[in-house]
Amino acid sequence: MKKLLEVNNLSISFHTYGGEVQAVRDVNFDLHEGETLAIVGESGSGKSVTVQSIMRLLSMPPGEFKSGSILMNGEDIVHKTEKEMENIRGQEMGMIFQDPMTSLNPTMKVGRQITEGLIKHQNMSKEEAKERGLELLRLVGIPNPERRINQYPHEYSGGMRQRAVIAIALSCDPKILIADEPTTALDVTIQAQILELLRDIQSKRKTGIVLITHDLGVVANAADRVAVMYGGKIVETGTVDEIFYQPKHPYTWGLLGSMPKVDDAKGDLQSIPGSPPDLKDPPKGCPFAARCPHAMKVCDQHMPDYIESSSTQKTACWLLDERAPKVAPPENIFAGGDK
Amino acid sequence: MSHKQIKESDFEAIHYDDSDAERIAGESTSFWKDAWRRFKQNKLAILGIIVIVLLGIMSLTGTLISGQNYSDNNLMNANQSPSWEHWFGTDNLGRDLFARTWYGARISLFIGLTAAFIDLIIGVIWGTVAGYVGGRVDEYMMRIADILSGVPYLLVVILLMVIMPQGLWTLIIAMTITGWIGMARIVRGEVLKLKSEEFILASKSLGANTMRIMTKHLVPNAIGAILVTLTLTIPNAIFTEAFLSFLGLGVPAPQASWGTMTSDALASLRYYPYQLFFPAFFICLTMLAFNVVGDGMRDALDPKDRR
Amino acid sequence: MLKYILKRLVYIVVSLFFIVTITFFLMQAAPGGPFTSERKVPPKIEEQLNEAYGLNEPLYIQYKDYLVNVAKWDFGPSFKQKGQSVNSIINRSFPYSLILGLEAIFLALSIGVFLGVFAALYHNKFGDYAAMIFAVLGISVPSFILATILQYIFAFKLQMLPVARFDSFAHSILPAIALATTPLAFIARLMRSSMLDVLNSDYIKTAKAKGLSGRVTIYRHGIRNAILPVISYIGPLVIAILTGSFIIERIFAIPGLGNEFVESITNRDYTVIMGTTVFFSVLLLVSILIVDIIYGLIDPRIKITGKKED
Across the interface, which of B162, B249, B266 has its CB nearest the CB of C148? B266
- The burial of C43, by beta-carbon neighbours within 10 Å (0-12 exposed, 13-18 middle, 19 or more buried), is given as exposed
pLDDT at B201 over 90: no
CA–CA gap between residue B160 and residue C194 (Å, rounded) = 37
Confirm or reject contact between C205 and chain A (CB < 8 A). Answer: yes
Confidence band of A339 (pLDDT split at 50, 70, 90): very low
CA–CA gap between residue B134 and residue C70 (Å, rounded) = 38
CB atoms B14 and A291 under 8 Å: no
CA–CA gap between residue C304 and residue C309 (Å, rounded) = 11
Confirm or reject contact between B11 and chain A (CB < 8 A). Answer: yes
Residue C12: enclosing H or E segment and its boundaries? helix C2-29
CA–CA gap between residue B44 and residue B29 (Å, rounded) = 24
Top-confidence residue, B126 or B69? B126
CA–CA gap between residue C108 and residue C176 (Å, rounded) = 9
Q: What is the pLDDT of residue C45?
A: 67
Q: What percent of chain A has pLDDT over 90?
A: 1
Contacts of residue B213, defined as CB under 8 A and 6 or more positions apart, other chains included, come to B132, B200, B203, B204
CA–CA gap between residue A68 and residue A71 (Å, rounded) = 10
Confirm or reject contact between B22 and chain A (CB < 8 A). Answer: yes
Q: What percent of chain B has pLDDT over 70?
A: 80
- Closest chain C CA to residue A103: C203
Top-confidence residue, B187 or B87? B187
CB atoms B11 and A277 under 8 Å: no
pLDDT at B251 over 60: yes
Q: What is the pLDDT of residue C134?
A: 92
Q: Which residue pairs from B3-11 have beta carbons closer than 8 angstroms and sit at least 24 positions apart in sequence?
A: B3/A302, B3/A304, B3/A305, B6/A298, B6/A302, B6/A323, B8/A323, B9/A297, B10/A296, B10/A297, B10/A298, B10/A301, B11/A296, B11/A297, B11/A298, B11/A318, B11/A321, B11/A323, B11/A324, B11/A325
CB atoms C148 and B248 under 8 Å: no
Which of chain B's residues have a Cβ under 8 Å away from the Cβ of A233? none
CB atoms A302 and B20 under 8 Å: no
Q: What is the pLDDT of residue C67?
A: 86
Q: What percent of chain C has pLDDT over 70?
A: 89
pLDDT at A225 over 50: yes
Which of chain B's residues have a Cβ under 8 Å away from the Cβ of C140? 235, 284, 287-288, 291
- Tens of pLDDT, residue by residue over B58-76, are 888 877 776 666 666 666 6
User: ipTM of the assembly?
Assistant: 0.81
Between B and C, how many residue pairs show a Cβ–Cβ distance under 8 A? 95
Residue A94 Cα to chain centre, angstroms: 13
Distance of residue C30 Cα from the nearest chain B Cα, in angstroms:
4
Q: What is the pLDDT of residue A262?
A: 61
Confidence band of B2 (pLDDT split at 50, 70, 90): very low
- Tens of pLDDT, residue by residue over A45-92, are 888 888 888 888 887 778 888 888 888 888 888 888 888 888 888 888
Which of chain C's residues have a Cβ under 8 Å away from the Cβ of A169? 209
Confidence band of C307 (pLDDT split at 50, 70, 90): very low
Confidence band of C97 (pLDDT split at 50, 70, 90): very high
CA–CA gap between residue C277 and residue C20 (Å, rounded) = 8
- Tens of pLDDT, residue by residue over C40-52, are 556 676 677 666 6
Give me the residue spans of the domains in chain A.
94-173, 247-334
CB atoms B243 and C151 under 8 Å: no
Confirm or reject contact between A60 and chain C (CB < 8 A). Answer: no
- Tens of pLDDT, residue by residue over B161-185, are 777 877 888 888 888 888 888 888 8
What's the mean pLDDT when you consider all of chain B? 79
CB atoms C205 and A103 under 8 Å: yes
Top-confidence residue, C39 or B218? B218
Pairing relationship of beta strands A233-239 and A225-230 according to DSSP bridges: antiparallel
Cα-Cα-Cα-Cα dihedral sign, residues B116, B122, B128, B130 = negative
Pairing relationship of beta strands A36-40 and A208-213 according to DSSP bridges: parallel
Which site among A85, A87, A105 would you substitute to test the C interface, given the most C Cβ atoms closer than 10 Å to its Cβ? A105
CA–CA gap between residue A322 and residue A14 (Å, rounded) = 37
CB atoms B25 and A301 under 8 Å: no
Q: Which residue pairs from A108-113 have beta carbons closer than 8 angstroms and sit at least 24 positions apart in sequence?
A: A108/A152, A108/C220, A108/C221, A108/C224, A109/A149, A109/A150, A109/A151, A109/A152, A110/A148, A110/A149, A110/A151, A110/A152, A110/A153, A110/A156, A110/A164, A111/A149, A111/A150, A113/A164, A113/A168, A113/C206
CB atoms B1 and A298 under 8 Å: no
pLDDT at B246 over 90: no
CB atoms B25 and A276 under 8 Å: yes
CB atoms A274 and B18 under 8 Å: yes
CB atoms A117 and C212 under 8 Å: yes
A195 touches A177 (CB < 8 A): no
CA–CA gap between residue A166 and residue A41 (Å, rounded) = 23
What is the spatial order of strands in the sheet that A225-230 belongs to? Answer: A93-96, A176-180, A208-213, A36-40, A225-230, A233-239, A314-316, A306-308
pLDDT at C90 over 50: yes
Confidence band of C119 (pLDDT split at 50, 70, 90): very high
Confidence band of B23 (pLDDT split at 50, 70, 90): very low
CB atoms C15 and B147 under 8 Å: yes
Confirm or reject contact between C161 and chain B (CB < 8 A). Answer: no
pLDDT at A264 over 80: no
Confirm or reject contact between C224 and chain A (CB < 8 A). Answer: yes
- Tens of pLDDT, residue by residue over A135-163, are 888 888 888 888 898 889 888 888 888 88
Confirm or reject contact between C124 and chain A (CB < 8 A). Answer: no
Confidence band of C308 (pLDDT split at 50, 70, 90): very low
- Nearest Cα to Cα of residue B6 among A322, A289, A295, A234: A322
Which of chain C's residues have a Cβ under 8 Å away from the Cβ of A154? 300-301, 309-310
Across the interface, which of C209, C221, C301 has its CB nearest the CB of A89? C209
Structural domains in chain C? Answer: 1-310 (1.10.3720.10)
- Closest chain C CA to residue A96: C206
Distance of residue C299 Cα from the nearest chain A Cα, in angstroms:
6
Top-confidence residue, A275 or A145? A145
Q: What is the pLDDT of residue A338?
A: 44
Q: What is the pLDDT of residue C183?
A: 93
Calculate mean pLDDT across residues A290-314.
82
Top-confidence residue, B280 or B305? B280
CA–CA gap between residue B264 and residue A239 (Å, rounded) = 85
What's the mean pLDDT when you consider all of chain A? 83
Residue C100, CB-side half-sphere exposure with 13 Å CA sphere: 36
Calculate mean pLDDT across residues C28-35.
64
- Tens of pLDDT, residue by residue over C179-213, are 999 999 999 999 998 999 898 888 898 888 888 88
CB atoms A104 and C206 under 8 Å: yes
Confirm or reject contact between B249 and chain C (CB < 8 A). Answer: yes
Confirm or reject contact between B267 and chain C (CB < 8 A). Answer: no
Confirm or reject contact between B17 and chain A (CB < 8 A). Answer: no
- Tens of pLDDT, residue by residue over C252-294, are 888 999 999 988 888 888 888 888 988 988 888 888 888 888 8
Calculate mean pLDDT across residues B191-207.
79
Confidence band of B1 (pLDDT split at 50, 70, 90): very low
Residue by residue, DSSP assigns B52-111 as HHHHHHHHHHHHHHT---SS---GGGTTPPS-SSSTT-B-TT--BHHHHHHHHHHHHHHH
Confidence band of C306 (pLDDT split at 50, 70, 90): very low
Q: What is the pLDDT of residue B304?
A: 52
Q: What is the pLDDT of residue A256?
A: 83
Calculate mean pLDDT across residues B78-105.
74
Of the CATH numbers 1.10.1200.10, 3.40.1710.10, 3.40.50.2300, 1.10.3720.10, which one belongs to the domain with range B50-68+89-305?
1.10.3720.10
Across the interface, which of B12, B21, B24 has its CB nearest the CB of A296? B12
Confidence band of A336 (pLDDT split at 50, 70, 90): very low
Which of chain A's residues have a Cβ under 8 Å away from the Cβ of C209? 55, 57, 89-90, 94-95, 169
Task: Show which subunits contact C, needing at least 3 CB pairs below 8 angstroms.
Answer: A, B
What's the mean pLDDT when you consider all of chain C? 84
Q: What is the pLDDT of residue C303?
A: 63
- Nearest Cα to Cα of residue B108 among B233, B265, B240: B240
Q: What is the pLDDT of residue C112?
A: 95
pLDDT at B39 over 50: yes
Contacts of residue A261, defined as CB under 8 A and 6 or more positions apart, other chains included, come to A335, A336, A337
Q: Is the peptide bond preceding residue C77 cis, with omega within 30 degrees of 0? A: no
Calculate mean pLDDT across residues C92-112.
93
Confirm or reject contact between C213 and chain A (CB < 8 A). Answer: yes
Confirm or reject contact between C128 and chain A (CB < 8 A). Answer: no
Cα-Cα-Cα-Cα dihedral sign, residues A44, A50, A56, A57 = negative
Q: What is the pLDDT of residue C191?
A: 93
A261 touches A336 (CB < 8 A): yes
